Amino acid sequence: MPEENGEFYGKHGEPRKYDANFRGPIANRSCTDIVCCVLFVLAVLGYIAVGILAWTQGDPRKVIYPTDSEGQFCGQAGTPLEKKPVLFYFNIMKCASPMVLLEFQCPTTQMCVEKCPDRFLTLLNAFKSKEDFTYYKKFCKSGVSDSMRETQILALGLCPAMLMPSKSFTRRCFPALGQRDGVITVGNNTHFDDGSGKKRDAKDLVDGVKNATVAIEARQVVMKIFEDYTQSWYWILLGLVIAMLTSLLFIVLMRFLAGVMVWIMVALVILVIGYGIFHCYMEYAALKGRPGADVTLQDLGFQSDFTVYLQIRQTWLAFMIILAIVELIIILILIFLRKRILIAIALIKEGSKAIGAMMCSLFYPLFTFLLLAMVIAYWAVTAVFLSTSNEPVYKVFNESKCEYSRMTCDPANYSKTAMKTQCPDSECLFAFYGGETVYHKYLIGLQFYNVFLFFWCANFVTALGQMTLAGAFASYYWAFNKSDDLPACPVFSSLGRCLRYHVGTLAFGSLILSIIQIIRVLLEYLDHKLKGAHNKCTKFLLCCLKCCFWCLEKFIKFLNRNAYIMTAIYGKNFCTAARDAFFLLMRNIIRVAVLDKVTDFLLFLGKLLIVGLVGVFAFFFFSGRVKAFEDTAPHLNYYWVPILTVAIGSYLIAHGFFSVYAMAVDTLFLCFLEDVERNDGSPERPYLMPESLRKLLNKKNTARYAE
């Protein structure tokens, strides 16, 4: 094999030499990468300062509450507008499209009201009935009296020219748009009076019929999904609890029956996917001859009701082909790598023993999850406060030509300014949130810093978990007598070493990874901004860059993981540990390329099995296919919403538990490679690997040390 060739060793460093005093993670170590440690501490202090600055300048009410033309918050408790939570637009047609309203820059008067109008009514018709005029005044500014004439009210901009049926969406009154026989309607009418006596088409309310249809359907889908979550959240929670218990059960069983459990997992994954293929075929066959079932997905196009796709034969055919390909790939991998799978199972068995010797390692991901939750929460809160730390900007909006149009203004004394004198029909209305101070000029920089520190801190927390578990599992492998030589609390001892000596190393590795991730974010941002404007050459270049940095991120994650293992064992700085780990892996490239990846594949099958079992259970429960669950299951618009949520959540939960196994296997694998280089099985240099692994590799110790 190439790893036994002297020339190969020379290219990738010298193999480890026997050291009689080596007993696993060294105790005598010093602080590593101090410069990076200091830099990280300063960066975190700066991050805290940014958070404090954002919290003093920001106002989340700008996100929670809509803002009227005077910059007041609708529905805010303790204010005169407390009982007026909805924003009403005087002339919705000036907003061009309902989607533009989400940008808060509609050039019309906006005021807070108790609820949206529910009828068609013009100001002219409202004057004919006292009851109608009383209702109409709910949507007018203060100062309107019964003695005022219609023309006077409109000239002063106190009331809208007309009302139309509207619905509240994101606390804003949107026209109650709908469709009837493919025609856009508002309040079930295709036409409406615009207040000046003219009849307008309902489609004039939106920027084109097509865009209006998409807006309507998208809103309906979002509302239905939200409704499904409110109906099924407790069942989703129950599904996630089942996923957690199933994952824990698998881990416990693997502690005692690792080899059997691996083969059971492989068999069950094949059976679950096989059942999926069979189910897809049965659905495909059942739709044969049914009217409309032979329509192609391309002809069907996008449908807001996703259950429509399940009535098409081509959908089930696509599912069946995809599952068949996955099944074939898994079977071929198992056939060609069956010998390596035996070695991988031996590593998993040893990992099971290591986890069994320190059961608290199973619960360490909860600590990592808690720290990550704190980092995510801090980032999200800071981002919200930064984005809401702008000041309200008022601009001139007018009907006729005006040289001051869209210029900034002060609403407090606008009626006395030259702008109002020269443009009598203009108004000074709230436009958006912005600012021109030094703080506001560098606001985008603070947002960038917030994102970058989020990546750095999140990667640091993940790295801390990896190095902590690596140190604990390395202590287990290098212990001659597992019961006597293993530290009393290996996980906590390893965590203490990491925090005392290697914060700088963790910061260094996570900094490199964060820089690559922030570059990927910038590339995605650039691609989004230039979408539709760049040519094919630029698009190809951006695609290549995104692909290259994706690959680079994967490589750095792999290198960092192994560097942390070497640091946990030898206490070296990041660069030295990364070099030693890389050379060690290169000297054993065949074992790395096959054995380590096969182990990852087997653990992935375990996660896939848990997701499959919980997902199948969720499918039969929420879809109502089983009569026993028909009365218990909630009635949903889209039953795939809770199924997909349970499946994704189950994978994340299973990944959390199996990540301990993955770290155990990776650490033991690196220790195993060093064991092969350090020792030769002689009485003076016995192998520390388990007997089962020695047999598979044709290695053995002499009689005095044989197990």
Tens-place pLDDT, residues 259-301? 777 787 778 888 888 888 998 888 888 888 777 777 776 766 6
Q: Are 589 and 495 in contact (CB under 8 A)?
A: no
Residue 193 has a pLDDT of: 63
List, as own/partner pairs, every contact residues 147-150 make where C-beta atoms lie below 8 angstroms and the sequence separation is at least 24, other chains included: 150/123, 150/124
Number of H helices, E strands in the chain: 23, 12
Of the candidates 87, 116, 95, which has an alpha carbon nearest to the alpha carbon of residue 205?
Answer: 95
Q: Are 649 and 243 in contact (CB under 8 A)?
A: yes
Distance separating alpha carbons of residues 574 and 191, to the nearest angstrom? 71
Tell me whether strands 183-186 and 177-180 are parallel, antiparallel or unpaired: antiparallel
State the DSSP code for 635.
P
Tens-place pLDDT, residues 86-111? 888 887 776 654 434 333 356 677 88
SS3 state of residue 78: coil
Distance separating alpha carbons of residues 396 and 407, to the nearest angstrom? 6
Which residue type occupies 53?
L
Stretch among 113-122, 530-539, 596-605 having the lowest mean pLDDT? 530-539
A 10 A CB-CB count for 556 gives: 19
- Burial (CB count within 10 angstroms: exposed 0-12, middle 13-18, buried 19+), residue 235: middle
Tens-place pLDDT, residues 606-655? 888 888 888 888 888 877 666 666 667 777 777 778 888 888 888 888 88
End-to-end CA distance of the chain: 28
The token pair at 437 is 């101070």
Residue 156 has a pLDDT of: 77
On the question of pLDDT at 453 being above 90, the answer is: yes
On the question of pLDDT at 683 being above 80, the answer is: no
Beta bridge partners of 391: 434
Between 157 and 180, residue with greater pLDDT: 157
Residue in the structure block whose two tokens are 């359907």: 217
Residue in the structure block whose two tokens are 């910061």: 507
Distance separating alpha carbons of residues 45 and 17, to the nearest angstrom? 43
> 254 pLDDT band (50/70/90 cuts)?
confident
Distance separating alpha carbons of residues 642 and 622, to the nearest angstrom? 8
Of the candidates 101, 20, 14, 49, which has an alpha carbon nearest to the alpha carbon of residue 478?
Answer: 20
Distance separating alpha carbons of residues 669 and 673, to the nearest angstrom? 6
Among left, alpha and beta (phi > 0; psi -120 to 50; other), residue 255 is alpha
Residue 513 has a pLDDT of: 94
On the question of pLDDT at 438 being above 70, the answer is: no
Distance separating alpha carbons of residues 559 and 103, to the nearest angstrom? 44
Distance separating alpha carbons of residues 71 and 414, to the nearest angstrom? 15
Q: Are 663 and 473 in contact (CB under 8 A)?
A: yes
Of the candidates 620, 690, 538, which has an alpha carbon nearest to the alpha carbon of residue 275?
Answer: 620
On the question of pLDDT at 212 being above 50, the answer is: no
A 10 A CB-CB count for 28 gives: 5
- Burial (CB count within 10 angstroms: exposed 0-12, middle 13-18, buried 19+), residue 544: exposed
The token pair at 359 is 């059961």
Mean pLDDT of 207-218: 45
Q: Are 374 and 461 in contact (CB under 8 A)?
A: no
Q: Are 32 and 572 in contact (CB under 8 A)?
A: yes
pTM: predicted TM-score of the whole model, two decimal places = 0.69
The token pair at 89 is 């637009």
Residue 89 has a pLDDT of: 82
Of the candidates 540, 477, 516, which has an alpha carbon nearest to the alpha carbon of residue 690?
Answer: 477
On the question of pLDDT at 147 being above 60, the answer is: yes
Largest CA distance in the chain: 112
Residue 82 has a pLDDT of: 84
Distance separating alpha carbons of residues 436 and 412, to the nearest angstrom? 20
> 201 pLDDT band (50/70/90 cuts)?
low
> 196 pLDDT band (50/70/90 cuts)?
low
Cβ-Cβ contacts under 8 Å for 222 (sequence gap 6 or more): none
Which residue type occupies 233?
W
Lateral strand order in the sheet of 172-175 = 110-113, 86-89, 172-175, 166-169
The token pair at 469 is 């578990």
Q: Average per-residue pLDDT in the chain? A: 77
> 7 pLDDT band (50/70/90 cuts)?
very low
On the question of pLDDT at 43 being above 50, the answer is: yes
Stretch among 55-64, 320-329, 334-343, 625-634 having the lowest mean pLDDT? 625-634
On the question of pLDDT at 122 being above 90, the answer is: no
Between 429 and 330, residue with greater pLDDT: 330
- Burial (CB count within 10 angstroms: exposed 0-12, middle 13-18, buried 19+), residue 188: exposed
Tens-place pLDDT, residues 222-246? 667 767 777 777 888 888 888 888 8
Distance separating alpha carbons of residues 287 and 294, to the nearest angstrom? 8
The token pair at 514 is 């964060």
Beta bridge partners of 184: 179
> Which DSSP helix (H) or strand (E) runs through 183?
strand 183-186
Residue 47 has a pLDDT of: 93
Mapped to the 3 state alphabet, what secondary structure does 140-197 carry? Answer: CCCCCCCCCCHHHHHHCCCCCCEECCEEEECCEEEECEEEECCEEEECCECEEECCCC
Tell me whether strands 110-113 and 121-122 are parallel, antiparallel or unpaired: unpaired
Distance separating alpha carbons of residues 427 and 423, to the nearest angstrom? 9
Distance separating alpha carbons of residues 679 and 474, to the nearest angstrom? 16
Of the candidates 73, 24, 14, which has an alpha carbon nearest to the alpha carbon of residue 473?
Answer: 24
Q: Are 371 and 458 in contact (CB under 8 A)?
A: no
Tell me whether strands 86-89 and 110-113 are parallel, antiparallel or unpaired: antiparallel
Tens-place pLDDT, residues 361-390? 878 888 888 888 899 889 988 888 887 776
Residue 81 has a pLDDT of: 84
Distance separating alpha carbons of residues 28 and 570, to the nearest angstrom? 9
Q: What angle do CA 545, 546, 552 make, to 5 degrees?
A: 85
Of the candidates 353, 207, 262, which has an alpha carbon nearest to the alpha carbon of residue 599?
Answer: 262
> 220 pLDDT band (50/70/90 cuts)?
low
State the DSSP code for 189.
B
Residue 294 has a pLDDT of: 75
Mean pLDDT of 501-513: 94
The token pair at 530 is 């230039």
> 9 pLDDT band (50/70/90 cuts)?
very low
